[in-house]
Amino acid sequence: YGLSLTFTFVYGYWAAKDKLAEKVLIPLLDILQSIPVLGFMPGLVLAFVGLFHQSNIGLELAAIIMIFTGQVWNMTFSFYHSLRAVPVDIRQVSCAFRFNWWQTLNWVEAPYAAIGLIWNSMMSMAGGWFFLMISEAFVLGNNDFRLPGVGSYMSVAVNQGDIPAMVYAITAMIIMIVFLDMFLWRPVVAWSKKFKIEETGTQFESTSFFLNWLRKSGLLQYISGITGFFVEYGLNRLFPKKKVPTEDIGKMRIPFRIFIWIIYAAFLCLFGYGCWKLYHMLQALTLSRWQQISWCGCLTLFRVLSAVGIGTLWALPAGLAIGLSPRLSRIFQPVIQIVASFPAPMLFVPVIIFLQTVDIGLDFGSTVLMLLGTQWYILFNVIAGAMSIPSDLREASRLYKMNVWQRLKNLYIPAVFPFLVTGWVTAAGGAWNASIVAEYIVFRGHTLAAHGLGAMISQAAEKADFALLAGAVLSMSAFVVVFNRIVWRSLYNMAEKRYAIE
């Protein structure tokens, strides 16, 4: 999560502020989000094992990076679109006070993005738990890689059908999630309420005993003072406050520009080398194989959109109810974190038994399995959007005696629409990722497979068929990028132009 948060601030800020880089970084983010864990796991694991062949450090780093790839994308999308959606009047105030880039980020942009980023952080943590079994225990060809941890413990328990061991693992996971909620997420959510954009105070104040204890102890002020000192010192070294001649400022900027262009050049060289290696690998695939990959991609796309649509039907009203009610938020915040964090294979067992009982195959049942992991992206983002609705607008809706339908149409849905689009984008990306475990399942010694890209990627990874694996992952990335450019980008533009609160 620490790596994900650092990446979010750097990547999201760069994409939002650099128009030239944005044209490359956002499509690249779409591609990276769409690549499932098994798509890059073989190369990642083999590379790190080769670097640290005498210890488990390589496997530990590989597992951390795989968990990172399950956490970071929705956080980055949320932060990037929050920076793009900062109200114009607030930006004008920052310009009137002549804020520099750091003051604007610290006092305007980061506070505006705080609520959405916090709830997406909770979703990211749940996403890390969801794919923990794959990250800590995986098979590559004839090699079985396992790390000590609750994820690999769960994997062994599921494979052996050991019910008591499954209960122990679930209990340990629930205890850790509740602990994190009490001492991290609940205090942070209560603290983030002060960043709501409104002209009246909130009617209900979220509380946290741990946050109150920290405030009384003075520890937060001490940490804030130390952090502020180092930040100010670093910024003063990079950007001196004393007046510097114009020609000296130009000289100071030259090394920075050279550094940026070196990064661009290194990226282009790495990208070109990767394309050259990929081209030689894909030559092993025949035309009929490509046709099969394309058809499987269309089937998986249909399942992804079905899962997102079904998830929206219940997550939108539930998220509005939780986000608009402090009492419901206090009750359900830890509950939905626990439910959203359940590892995929453990959730799949009862669902598969039910599907087999009602005689539904995996071609249709895989949509339900995808829904188990993707619906939470929509729910968390809707809750964040509902919590950020200004209280003065809610009071105005009561003064005008709007009924429930009028409030939904004129206030609630327009206000949460930017958050909802972020939820759709990340839910679709999560569904593509979940397809690798939803379309190909080993259950009670039998292999269940649907027709789709997810099953194709899982089978290619299991057989170490790197050409088919590369072709399927490349096709999945193409599906995601094209759909994001055509559909999600249009909805984001609508959210920025039509539904901004300003």
* 312 confidence band (pLDDT: 50, 70, 90): very high
- pLDDT tens digits for range 442-483: 766 677 778 888 888 888 877 777 788 888 888 888 888 888
Separation in Å, CA 313 to CA 213, 307, 317, 472: 40, 10, 8, 31
- pLDDT tens digits for range 125-183: 877 777 777 778 776 666 777 888 888 888 788 777 788 888 888 888 888 888 888 88
What residues have CB less than 8 Å from 401, skipping those under 6 apart? none
- Report pLDDT for 492: 81
pLDDT exceeds cutoff 90 at 7:
yes
Q: What is the CA radius of gyration of the chain?
A: 24
- Nearest partner of 472 among 485, 461, 481, judged by Cα: 461
* 4 confidence band (pLDDT: 50, 70, 90): very high
Cα–Cα distance between 378 and 424 in angstroms, integer? 6
Mean pLDDT taken over the chain: 80
Q: What is the largest CA-CA distance in the chain?
A: 78
pTM exceeding 0.85: no
369 or 135: which leads in pLDDT? 369
Average pLDDT over residues 184-189: 85
Average pLDDT over residues 279-285: 79
Cα–Cα distance between 432 and 210 in angstroms, integer? 38
Are 296 and 468 contacting, i.e. CB atoms less than 8 angstroms apart? no
Paired tokens of 218: 């003075």
What residues have CB less than 8 Å from 37, skipping those under 6 apart? 66, 69, 70, 131, 134, 135, 433, 436
3-state DSSP percent of the chain in helix, strand and coil, to 5: 80, 5, 15
Separation in Å, CA 100 to CA 81, 106, 160, 248: 21, 10, 59, 19
Cα–Cα distance between 14 and 80 in angstroms, integer? 9
Are 493 and 474 contacting, i.e. CB atoms less than 8 angstroms apart? no
Rounded (5°) CA angle 286-273-142:
60
Tokens 């909805």 sit on residue: 491
Q: Give the least confident one: 89-103, 234-248, 376-390, 484-498.
A: 234-248
Average pLDDT over residues 207-226: 72
* 497 confidence band (pLDDT: 50, 70, 90): confident
Average pLDDT over residues 409-426: 90
- Report pLDDT for 451: 86
Cα–Cα distance between 380 and 356 in angstroms, integer? 31
Where do runs of H (alpha helix) occur along 161-286? Answer: 163-180, 186-192, 209-217, 219-238, 246-282
By three-state DSSP, how is residue 500 classified? coil
Cα–Cα distance between 254 and 250 in angstroms, integer? 6
Paired tokens of 192: 């983030």
- Report pLDDT for 38: 58
33 or 139: which leads in pLDDT? 33
* 66 confidence band (pLDDT: 50, 70, 90): confident
220 or 111: which leads in pLDDT? 111
